[in-house]
Amino acid sequence: DVNIKEIIEIALHNVQKYANDKSIKIMVNCPEDVPVIRTDKDKLIRVFVNLLTNAIKFTPEEGEVSIIVEDHDNHLQTSIKDNGIGISREKRDKIFDKFYQVDSTATRKAGGTGLGLAIIKGIIDGQGGNIYLESETGKGSTFTFRLPKELKEDDFTEIEGA
Ligand code: ATP
Ligand code: MG
């Protein structure tokens, strides 16, 4: 079982230097009593690190990034929000494809391979969740993912039989 607050702390530790270098503040808003979820800890850390790295990479200096966790009936919802360059409507559908990078000077300057979001989507889908993006060009982007709090029936059978 995984406590998402613990995951966030580890992820923050990973990206803090990068954020500091750009004087970007990272805010966290997570309920104290957030329930533990049954998911792969290392994979979830990777999701946070990748999303935070993107948020920092595509946000100008002195920007702001926030992590908002909400406890819903059947799932935990996490949003990672930045006030960076944003992603245009046409590009939004392609953003989770392997090797896709928005073709702009800002992106090319930022480097990377365009694999981060494809990996994240694979992890989230594989854990029975979903991820989506809201963005406005020039204003920022918010990536929101949901993970189920309970295992699905078929996952459960697998574990019982193990
Ligand atoms: P990698 O993650 O492999 O180092 P990358 O960051 O370019 O490279 P992805 O994380 O898959 O690749 O992101 C794909 C593209 O989506 C990015 O190149 C960028 O154009 C766009 N993008 C991702 N996150 C953001 C964001 N928070 N704000 C603006 N654009 C973004
Ligand atoms: Mg990336």
Ligand located closest to 117 CA: 1
Residues that place a CB less than 5 A from ion ligand 2: 54, 116
> What was the pLDDT predicted at 68?
98
Q: How far is the CA of 149 from the centre of ligand 2 (A)?
A: 27
Percent of the chain residues topping a pLDDT of 70: 87
Tell me which DSSP letter residue 72 carries: -
Burial class (CB in 10 A: 0-12, 13-18, 19+), 99: exposed
Q: How far is the CA of 151 from the centre of ligand 1 (A)?
A: 30
Residue found under tokens 């697998």: 158
Residue found under tokens 């979903």: 130
> What was the pLDDT predicted at 151?
60
> What was the pLDDT predicted at 44?
97
Q: Specify the DSSP element, H or E, that contains 67.
A: strand 64-71
The backbone torsions φ and ψ at residue 41, rounded to the nearest 5 degrees and listed phi first, read: -60, -50
Atom of ligand 1 nearest to the CA of 119: 11
* Amino acid in position 106: A
Q: Dihedral of CA 121/162/41/112: which sign?
A: negative
Tell me which DSSP letter residue 31 carries: -
- In this prediction, residue 104 has a pLDDT band, given cuts at 50, 70 and 90, of low
> What was the pLDDT predicted at 153?
53
**Ligand 1 pocket by C-beta < 6 Å: which residues?**
54-55, 58, 82, 84-87, 95, 100-102, 107, 112-118, 141
- Is pLDDT larger for residue 109 or for residue 131? 131
> What was the pLDDT predicted at 102?
74
Residue 152, pLDDT above cutoff 60: no
- Determine which of 26-30, 110-114, 133-137, 139-143 has the lowest per-residue pLDDT on average: 110-114
Q: How far is the CA of 63 from the centre of ligand 2 (A)?
A: 18
Over the stretch 63-72, which tens digit does the pLDDT of each residue have?
999 999 999 9
Short-list 128, 135, 147, 139, CA closest to 48: 147
